[in-house]
């Protein structure tokens, strides 16, 4: 008898037998390339950790012979802890971490081969920016034309693609910069090397170069890693893809877990094709679909599946659940953005009254500028919230800058506001100059604004500073006078334009810039709904005071759809499903159908965050930057949702009793949608209520005017 026949077959451990059938296959298929298509809520993390534990349990590999790649350090730590809990033993020596952390390990060990010392430093974004400024100055280029921040973005994008300076002679970045990109990129890399430094992009591209140039090193790691596991494979960029291909040896025991329907980071370099082409890259690859969902109700899953089925670039899967259909998805049509925020607050009050914890509720928007109305409503109502993955509206730098300009407009003695914006945009008035102003201010007991006036009068100031200072003061003084005769919202918008703040953001080509502009548009348009900029600033001060005094852990989560990936909540609100907002118009303009499909995937991610209740809302009218109201068009995505699992609601705006309960701040005599009459302006429609004031669009001239409720009659 062959001795092999006497070997005992080790039974499957409990942590494997407790899985569903598809999960078992994903864990047990250990030979050759494997793609696990894991739909939302199907137990992706459980499969990954169990597969890792199974490899160690069955002694198919030692811990240091496994490479596990995650997208966050938190995910890496959780994976290690879960494996240790499953096996009930410490797991040491495993290569587990993010692409960047693993890249660092490669570079530290082989730094000499890439002209680095192993004590190299890793530059953060601010250091990179400073270095680029030095490079652009050294090359005698105009910083205003060749903006360092823009080149930082382009270099990052090039590295995402695995491109070095010598690789981009025909790249679009080279065309856009009149052939200067490769020169700046090359000089930047040379300085990095001279400083014995790398940036985050180098942590991937340099290991790629290392393994391409040194086959012995590449073979060493191919033999070392018997198994490779990759999480969130749909989010890998070009350089990360190259690194994985180089590390996959002849055994090709690579298991990638991901969901093509949740690929939403194309704007930062993620390549959907990496997951779509997996079976082409590995001809004998197995594909396992995880489709049983353990998170959401049947109606939520049907809604998500219906939406994403419209995409062409996908492999495909059908999510299902053994649980009930649950509540239908509510599709809500409201009059305007204020009504939308009010409805959300009202529903939250109802949920809380039914013993729902605030932490079980999330509001997910396409863009952060949509937070404004919701935050204002929450602050007025005393509803505690947190902004996940970003700052709350009034905490954002561009909002603080704009408010400082507005404060200085009405109060020239506001030194804090003056100091914040005197050199934003750059006017050549740095710390030394401001120190001169402070010295004069303290000596003469005058404001910084007056100190600047005195310096200008004395001519004891550099020519450039004299010109910029004079222009700055003229703009402020002119706009202060405009407040006496012009619409205050128009004055505020004009001020930001003339001081160069809007131009500064328009020149910034980074992805964040558009969001900042939208936030400012939202801020300025809101002044239109107040009697004056004075009233507006007073209200903002009260709101931010509430904000600063808000504490406690139990809060609603307010975040963008991008920030929501990987999270789940019992109750989810998706406001602003209108054309231009969602799908985002810029995404459509720049990327066409690819952009549309990524927008649709964002919608899919948003829908599948919900466990029990889902609310999708759109409005008839929204405020815009030109201080008017525009008619909204419902999102095309709404027509792609199934009738059977959704319930369309035209929300009545005349539910007085419910609204009165919500807050004493909401007008008790008039509601949004009421028709009214004014002796001078004639007939009008109520578009908003705030305390004892109404926002009314009158038929005579179609203007929106804010009027005390005592001066109008309900029709």
Does residue 166 carry a catalytic annotation? Answer: no
In order, the DSSP letters of 304-350 are HHHHHTT-SS------B-SS---SPEEEEEEEEHHHHHHHHHHHHHH
Helix/strand/coil percent split, the chain, to 5? 50, 15, 35
Q: How far is CA 355 from the centre of its chain?
A: 30
Helix and strand tally (H, E) in the chain? 29, 21
Report whether 56 contacts 91 (CB < 8 A).
yes
- Cα 710 to Cα 715: distance, rounded to the nearest angstrom: 14
Report whether 521 contacts 625 (CB < 8 A).
yes
Of 283, 278, 231, 285, nearest in space to 253 by CA:
285
Does residue 355 carry a catalytic annotation? Answer: no
Q: Residue 641: helix, strand or coil by DSSP?
A: coil
Q: Catalogue the long-range contacts made by 461-469 (C-beta closer than 8 Å, 24 or more residues apart).
A: 462/428, 464/428, 465/427, 465/428, 465/429, 465/433, 468/427, 468/428, 468/429, 469/427, 469/429
- Cα 586 to Cα 514: distance, rounded to the nearest angstrom: 9
Beta strands in 529-624 (DSSP E): 556-560, 569-574, 610-623
> Based on the number of CB atoms within 10 Å of its own CB, is 341 exposed (0-12), middle (13-18) or buried (19 or more)?
buried
CA–CA distances in Å: residue 141 to residues 98, 147, 177, 282, 698: 37, 10, 12, 47, 54
For residue 683, the cross-strand partners are 677
Does residue 528 carry a catalytic annotation? Answer: no
Q: How many CB atoms sit inside 10 A of residue 97's CB?
A: 22
- Cα 169 to Cα 179: distance, rounded to the nearest angstrom: 8
Of 32, 90, 96, 34, nearest in space to 64 by CA:
96
> Based on the number of CB atoms within 10 Å of its own CB, is 449 exposed (0-12), middle (13-18) or buried (19 or more)?
buried
Q: Which of 82, 528, 609, 611 is catalytic?
A: 609
- Cα 668 to Cα 97: distance, rounded to the nearest angstrom: 57
Q: How far is CA 501 from the centre of its chain?
A: 23
- Cα 676 to Cα 654: distance, rounded to the nearest angstrom: 14
* CB crowding 136-172: b at 16 or more within 10 Å, else e: beeeebeeeebbbbbbbbbbbbbbbbbbbbeebeebe
For helices 585-607 and 298-308, give the axis angle rounded to 10 degrees.
150
Greatest C-alpha distance within the chain: 107
Place of tokens 């999960």: 23
Does residue 45 carry a catalytic annotation? Answer: yes
Residues 6+ apart with CB under 8 A from 268: 160, 237, 511
Q: What is the DSSP letter of 679?
A: T
Residues 6+ apart with CB under 8 A from 711: 678, 679
CA–CA distances in Å: residue 547 to residues 370, 382, 393, 414, 431: 18, 9, 10, 22, 30
- Cα 191 to Cα 199: distance, rounded to the nearest angstrom: 11
What CA dihedral angle connects 388, 589, 617 and 342, to 10 degrees? 60
Q: Which of 199, 232, 360, 376 is catalytic?
A: 232
Report whether 39 contacts 319 (CB < 8 A).
yes
Q: Which of 222, 262, 653, 689 is catalytic?
A: 262
Q: Which of 199, 202, 231, 360 is catalytic?
A: 231
For residue 684, the cross-strand partners are 676, 698
- Cα 516 to Cα 499: distance, rounded to the nearest angstrom: 16
- Please list the active-site residues: 44-45, 231-232, 262, 609
């Amino acid at each position: 008898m062959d001795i092999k026949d006497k070997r005992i077959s080790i039974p499957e451990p409990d942590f494997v037998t407790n899985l569903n059938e598809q999960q078992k296959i994903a864990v047990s298929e250990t030979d050759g390339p494997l793609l696990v298509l894991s739909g939302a809520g199907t137990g992706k993390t459980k499969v990954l950790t169990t597969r890792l534990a199974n490899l160690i349990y069955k002694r198919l590999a030692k811990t240091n012979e496994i490479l596990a790649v995650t997208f966050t350090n938190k995910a890496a730590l959780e994976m290690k802890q879960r494996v240790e809990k499953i096996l009930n033993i410490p797991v040491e020596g495993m290569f587990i971490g993010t692409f960047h952390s693993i890249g660092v390990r490669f570079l530290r060990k082989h730094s000499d081969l890439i002209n680095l010392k192993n004590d190299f430093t890793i530059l953060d974004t601010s250091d990179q920016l400073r270095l680029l400024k030095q490079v652009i100055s050294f090359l005698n280029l105009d910083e205003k034309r060749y903006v360092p921040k823009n080149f930082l973005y382009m270099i990052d994008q090039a590295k995402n693609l695995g491109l070095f300076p010598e690789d981009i002679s025909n790249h679009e970045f080279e065309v856009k910069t009149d052939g200067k990109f490769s020169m700046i990129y090359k000089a930047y890399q040379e300085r990095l090397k001279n400083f014995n430094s790398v940036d985050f992009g180098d942590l991937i591209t340099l290991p790629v170069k290392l393994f391409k140039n040194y086959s012995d090193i590449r073979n060493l790691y191919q033999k070392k890693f018997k198994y490779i596991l990759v999480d969130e494979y749909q989010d890998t960029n070009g350089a990360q893809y190259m690194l994985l291909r180089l590390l996959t040896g002849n055994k090709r025991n690579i298991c990638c877990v991901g969901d093509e329907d949740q690929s939403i980071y194309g704007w930062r370099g993620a390549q959907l094709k990496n997951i779509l082409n997996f079976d082409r890259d590995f001809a004998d690859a197995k594909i396992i679909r995880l489709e049983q969902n353990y998170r959401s109700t049947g109606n939520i899953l049907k809604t998500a599946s219906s939406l994403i089925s419209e995409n062409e670039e996908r492999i495909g899967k059908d999510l299902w659940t053994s649980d009930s259909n649950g509540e239908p998805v509510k599709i809500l049509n409201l009059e305007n953005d204020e009504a939308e925020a009010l409805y959300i607050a009202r529903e939250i009050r109802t949920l809380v009254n039914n013993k729902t914890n605030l932490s079980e509720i999330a509001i997910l928007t396409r863009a952060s500028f949509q937070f404004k109305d919701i935050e204002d409503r929450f602050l007025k109502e005393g509803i505690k919230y947190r902004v996940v993955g970003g700052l709350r509206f009034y905490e954002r730098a561009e909002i603080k800058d704009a408010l400082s300009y507005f404060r200085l407009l009405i109060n020239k003695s506001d030194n804090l506001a003056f100091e914040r914006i005197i050199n934003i945009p750059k006017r050549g008035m740095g710390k030394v100059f401001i120190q001169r102003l402070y010295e004069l201010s303290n000596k003469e007991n005058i404001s910084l604004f007056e100190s600047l006036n005195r310096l200008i009068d004395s001519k004891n100031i550099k020519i450039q500073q004299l010109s910029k200072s004079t222009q700055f003061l003229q703009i402020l003084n002119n706009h202060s006078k405009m407040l006496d005769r012009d619409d205050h919202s128009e004055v505020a918008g004009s001020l930001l334009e003339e001081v160069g703040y809007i131009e500064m953001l328009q020149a910034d080509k980074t992805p964040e810039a558009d969001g900042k502009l939208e936030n400012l548009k939202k801020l300025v348009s809101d002044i239109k709904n107040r009697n004056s900029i004075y009233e507006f600033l007073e209200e903002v001060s009260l709101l931010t005071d509430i904000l600063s005094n808000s504490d406690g852990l139990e809060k609603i989560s307010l975040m963008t759809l991008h920030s929501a990936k990987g999270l789940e909540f019992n109750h989810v609100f998706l406001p602003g499903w209108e054309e231009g907002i969602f799908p985002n118009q810029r995404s459509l303009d720049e990327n066409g159908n690819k952009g549309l499909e990524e927008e649709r995937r964002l919608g899919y991610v948003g829908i599948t965050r919900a466990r029990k209740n889902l609310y999708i809302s759109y409005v008839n009218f929204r405020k815009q930057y030109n201080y008017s109201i525009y008619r909204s068009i419902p999102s095309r995505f709404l027509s792609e949702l199934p009738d059977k699992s959704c319930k369309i609601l035209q929300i009545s705006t005349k539910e007085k009793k419910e609204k009165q309960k919500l807050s004493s701040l909401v007008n008790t005599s008039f509601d949004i949608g009421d028709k009214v009459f004014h002796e001078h302006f004639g007939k009008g429609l109520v578009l908003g209520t705030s305390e004892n004031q109404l926002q009314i669009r009158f038929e005579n001239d179609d203007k929106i005017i804010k009027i005390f409720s005592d001066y109008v009659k309900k029709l």
